[in-house]
Amino acid sequence: MPPTEPGAAPAQPSGPAAEAADAPDLQQQLAAAQEEVARLKDEYLRALAETENLRRRAARERQETSQYAITGFARDLLSVADNLNRALGAVAVDARRADPALDALMSGVEMTEKELLTIFDRHGVKPIPAVGQLFDPHVHEALFEMPDPSVPQGTVLQEMQPGYSIHGRTLRPARVGLARGGPKPGVAAAQTDAGKADAEAPSMIAEDDGVIEYPRARAPTESPPTRAPPAPGSTRTPEHGDRRGGFISRPRLLSVTSPYSPDH
């Protein structure tokens, strides 16, 4: 190595030593660049997701605007449908038969109502089912209650004013009268399911020494057996077939000789 002249700058290392000295700086720059790439990628993905959500929201709002743009107009036309229905119900059938001119007029009213309901259906305006349905506060408006223990409590018995929906959204609730005094809906459904399960249960068939026992329906002319009533104070359970006791009658088991028995 040549001697260094006085006042000259020290010589910079070269070769492998210089590369080793620059390695930490390169690693730091690489790490910083990778962090920057990760940050930019995250921002890009966030912006892309936000743009996609905005596009979907705009498409949904555009579809809803197209579907429900006539909501106010359709609601105003419901009174026209109500008046046509009242006009048809105000004229008796006998009066129409007795007066041909009146019958022709009412036929025109029927055609007008039918055409209006067809237009309603074409634009997604449909009547809401009411009579026989359980009360739903989203689509029904209760006006009164009537005692009727034969149906579940809250069943719609009478429709005072029909309700309509537009593309699944309630346009006007149906004004109805409800049943009162019957079983609760959950209890009635459970009893119905239990009755169906018992009625659909498979019959039991046993085979022993060539004799098959199977249930057989009683002939129509055969009178049912007479059973004595339980004594007073008895803890005897109700007989089969007594619906009040919650039991369901089951067929009797009759012994019939099988054609495959050893005796044949």
Q: What distance in Å separates the CA atoms of residue 163 and residue 145, rounded to the nearest whole number?
A: 18
Gyration radius of the chain's alpha carbons: 42
Q: Which residue has the higher pLDDT, 234 or 58?
A: 58
pLDDT at residue number 145: 92
Query: What six digits make up the tokens of 50?
Result: 């936000």
- The rounded Cα 37 to chain-centroid distance in angstroms is 49
pLDDT at residue number 87: 93
Question: Can you list the domains of the chain with their CATH numbers?
Answer: 125-201 (2.30.22.10), 203-220+242-264 (no CATH)
Q: At what angle do helices 100-122 and 71-90 cross, to 10 degrees?
A: 160
pTM for the whole structure:
0.53
**41-45, 97-101, 157-161, 221-225 — which is least confidently predicted?**
221-225
Is residue 253 within 8 A of residue 215, CB to CB? The reply is: yes
**Helix or strand holding residue 34 (H, E):** helix 16-68
Is residue 157 within 8 A of residue 177, CB to CB? The reply is: yes
Taking only the tens place, the pLDDT of each residue in 247-257 is 444 443 333 44
